[in-house]
Chain A
Amino acid sequence: MSADLTASTAADLSTALQAGDLSSVEVTRAYLDRIAATDGTIGAYLHVDAEAALQSAEAVDAARAKGEELGPLAGVPMALKDVVVTEGVPTTSGSKILEGWRPPYDATLAARLKAAGTVLLGKTNMDEFAMGSSTENSAYKVTRNPWDTDRIPGGSSGGSSAAVAGGLAPWAIGTDTGGSIRQPAAVTGLVGHKPTYGSVSRYGLIAFSSSLDQAGPMTRTVLDAALLHEAIAGHDPLDSTSIDSPVPVLAESARRGAEGDLAGLRVGVVTELGGDGHTDGYEPGVLARVAEAIALLEGMGAEVRQISCPAFDLALPAYYLIAPSEASSNLARFDGVRYGLRAGDDGSRDLDEVMALTREQGFGPEVKRRIILGTYALSSGYYDAYYGQAQKVRTLITRDFTSAWDDVDVLVSPTSPTVAWSIGSRVDDPIAMYAADLCTLPASLAGVPAISVPCGLSEGLPVGFQIMAPALADDRCYRVAAALEAAQDAARGHALLAGMATKENAPS
């Protein structure tokens, strides 16, 4: 284990805790100290309750001292994206409309992590209602990329990515609607996995686009991601879209993958995502790192071929119709009646006026834009041309995946076309912001699992490599990602994150 607790993998922390070489209070305090020292600059957290964290840690240590049977994650600290509702702990989804709200219940995944004995360090910053790719749409603050604090940490799970990359949490939960786990993981040098839709409960996740939203792990290693994923996955009767079938074995797949044997694995490189004739908007450094990663997979025995998925070209327009449409409906719940903000209720106004003033004051510009766009796309006269057409394109994208699975076991691509960009450079241009999701959207629309694993640096900043697999074959993502991670770490002599040297944040 690394001498610096805040640079350790969660798997190593778990081993040390179980062996009694480390107490939960010790590791929790190490993280809280680092948060106190550096989160003023990074801005990863919206809420940290040091006292509550230490109390949970003490409880785990006391139980362990008494010889109680504890799970492997007991005592390991973690952070939750603020879209996950937590009983009694402030939850805002990055929005002013929920400022100060303390939910009366736990999301299923929060309850599972609590039952596993993990220690909640805090709630991480995010784009408001998870709408964005840079975390700049948070109503509260800017979050900075630990690799370069003038740059964005990705989004919408940018607080989680910055926390884990910056040593402010060993691992964190993110959510992914169109790429919000994978893209922030890519631009901060982390592993991020979007599970098969329906395999992690959505109960207690503040809904953005219900047919797309999934929660998943954001971690420093592939094995950590598999362990965290296993802890939150599985059927939940409280989520009507929850899949009632066993979760594939993930951590074991990651361990086997790390042995580096990919003989017989059929890998498809998606032409439409940065391949020949589709390189517009992709940085050459990103494409070069991805090509090197593909060569590494080949070197480990994988058979690589090009696969064309023509409908992927329309994933971006389809997504930016479907997600805003569902959001316009989901966000109707913020009516100033049952929870959250109420504005203008001075006795002279009726419910409609109070509702309109509440939503005007409580929502930020991107949320308003998407609600208006979604309302338009769903309105009579436009429904067939926009929302209905987008749903048909969604079918075409799924068909492209289905036919690809006849020929290959996994599909690969860059995770995002560029490395982290400068804070502020895309805020006034929604289209430029949306382009960050180009490569992550097809898997979201088809509901298939996809992982982002680091594949080196371009201009000193991390590049992500995306591996997509058929529904419920999340284990393939972990196997291939672990193989790539192990091969790169061996060649480099250390993990990618260990090479971080920033202006604010000297390497530890």
Chain B
Amino acid sequence: MSTPSPKGRLTRDEVAHLAHLSRLAVSDEELELFAGQLAAVLDAVAQVGKADVADVAPTTHAVPMTNVMRPDVARPSLPRDVVLAGAPAAEDDRFRVPRILGEEA
């Protein structure tokens, strides 16, 4: 298993890349601030690496459960107008979204 370097540094460029992956248009000031703060946080959380976990199974959930089944019975959904009332933009009884392809607007 790979071990994080004890000084798990996060560079400004890495934070910018992670922000992009997270769809966050962070400002330059934030990049500067977060890179420093996250480096400190990473140093702290990297201590999990100290644990001897050979042969220890991961816990994903506090209560062991398998998939829960219920009868496949149709139930009423929320009315369309009620749901669309909460949307930032709606058109023709649908959510209106900005273009999703890269063509010129």
Whole-angstrom CA separation of A263 from B83 in the bound complex: 56
* Contact of B41 with A373 in the complex, beta carbons under 8 Å: yes
Option from A349, A363, A373 in Cβ contact (under 8 Å) with B98: A349
Categorize the interface residue count of chain A.
35 or more
Q: Of A241, A339, A355, A368, which one neighbours B26 at CB under 8 angstroms?
A: A368
User: A431–B44 contact, CB under 8 A?
Assistant: yes
Interface: A282 (CB within 8 A) = no
Residues of B within 8 A of A471 (CB): 62-63
A contact residues around B65 at 8 Å (CB):
240-241
Number of A-B residue pairs having CB atoms within 8 Å of each other in the complex? 199
A350–B1 CA distance with the chains assembled, in angstroms: 40
B residues less than 8 Å from A102 (CB atoms)? 85-86
Q: Is the CB of A237 within 8 A of B57?
A: no
Contacts of B57 in A (CB 8 A): 392, 395
In Å, the complex CA distance between A495 and B53 comes to 46
Could you tell me the distance in whole angstroms from the C-beta of B27 to the nearest C-beta in chain A? 8
- Kindly state whether residue B105 has any CB partner on chain A within 8 Å: yes
Residues of B within 8 A of A264 (CB): none
Nearest opposing residue in chain A for B68, CB measure: A240
The reply to whether A360 and B88 contact each other, CB–CB distance below 8 Å, is no
Q: How far is the CA of A445 from the CA of B58 in the complex (A)?
A: 12
Q: Is the CB of A354 within 8 A of B47?
A: no
Bound together, the chains give a CA A430 to CA B37 distance in angstroms of 7
Q: Mark A96-124, 1 if CB is under 8 A from B, else 0.
A: 00000111110000000000000000000
Given contacts A430-B40, A446-B62, whether A385 and B99 have CB atoms under 8 Å apart is no
**Complex: A328 Cα to B22 Cα, angstroms:** 8
Q: Which residue of B lies closest to A342 (CB)?
A: B88
Known pairs A384-B1, A447-B63; A360 contacts B78 (CB<8 A): no
In B51-104, the 8 Å CB interface with A consists of 51, 53, 56-63, 65, 67-68, 70, 78, 82-83, 85-89, 95, 97-102
Interface footprint category on B = 35 or more
Given contacts A336-B88, A337-B97, contact A393 B48 (CB under 8 A): yes
Does B87 lie within 8 Å of A375, measured CB to CB?
no
User: Is the Cβ of B3 less than 8 Å from the Cβ of A431?
Assistant: no
A320 CA to B95 CA in the complex, in Å?
Answer: 35
Query: Is B56 in contact with A395, judged by CB distance below 8 angstroms?
Result: yes
Bound-state CA distance A389–B100 (Å) is: 37
Q: From A331, which residue of chain B is reached at the shortest CB distance?
A: B22
In the complex with contacts A241-B63, A430-B41, A359-B48 CB distance below 8 A = no
Given known A240-B68, A357-B25, A393-B53, contact A104–B58 (CB-CB < 8 A): no
Closest chain B residue, CB of each to CB of A237: B70
Tell me the smallest distance from the CB of B4 to a CB of chain A, in Å. 5
Give A320 to B53 CA distance when docked, in angstroms.
18
Closest to B102 in A: A350
Asked if A129 CB lies within 8 Å of chain B CBs, one says no
Interface pair B49/A389, CB less than 8 Å apart? yes
Stretch at the interface among A40-48, A56-64, A311-319, A460-468: A311-319
Judge whether A394 is part of the interface by a CB distance below 8 angstroms: yes
With both beta carbons as reference points, the residue of chain A lying nearest to B33 in the complex is identified as: A365
On whether the beta carbons of B63 and A431 are closer than 8 Å, the reply is no
Please determine whether A386 and B23 come into contact, CB atoms closer than 8 angstroms.
Answer: no
Q: Please tell me if the beta carbons of B1 and A372 are within 8 angstroms of each other in the complex.
A: no
Binary interface profile of B, 8-24, with partner A (CB < 8 Å = 1, else 0)?
00100011001111111
The yes or no answer to A369 lying at the interface (CB within 8 A) is yes
Report A58 CB to chain B, min CB distance, Å: 26
Cα–Cα distance between A349 and B89 once the two chains are bound (Å)? 15
CB contact between A347 and one of B33, B50, B88, B105 (< 8 Å): that residue:
B105
Would you call B44 and A392 a contact (CB within 8 A)?
no
Q: Which residue of A lies closest to B50 (CB)?
A: A314
Q: Pick from B24, B42, B47, B51: contact of A396, CB below 8 A.
A: B51
Q: Which residues of B contact A345 (CB under 8 A)?
A: 88-89, 98
B contact residues around A360 at 8 Å (CB):
24-27
Chain B residues with CB under 8 Å of A248's CB are none
Which residues of chain B have C-beta atoms less than 8 A from A103's C-beta? 86
Q: How far is the CB of A400 from chain B (nearest CB, A)?
A: 12
Q: Considering the chains assembled together, what is the distance between the CA atoms of A369 and B24 in angstroms? A: 11
**B100 and A321 within 8 A (CB):** no
Q: Which of A321, A349, A359, A447 contacts B23 (CB 8 A)?
A: A359
Distance of A508 Cα from B53 Cα, bound (Å): 55
Known contacts A385-B49, A434-B44; 4 further A-B pairs (Cβ under 8 A) = A320-B41, A338-B87, A342-B89, A347-B98
B residues near A (Cβ < 8 Å) are 1-4, 10, 14-15, 18-27, 30, 33-34, 37-38, 40-42, 44-51, 53, 56-63, 65, 67-68, 70, 78, 82-83, 85-89, 95, 97-102, 105
Return the 3 tightest CB-CB contacts between A and B, nearest first. A447-B62, A391-B58, A342-B88
- 18 contacting pairs across A/B (C-beta < 8 A): A311-B51, A337-B97, A338-B95, A345-B89, A348-B105, A349-B98, A356-B23, A368-B34, A369-B37, A375-B22, A376-B42, A388-B58, A389-B49, A391-B59, A392-B58, A430-B37, A445-B62, A447-B61
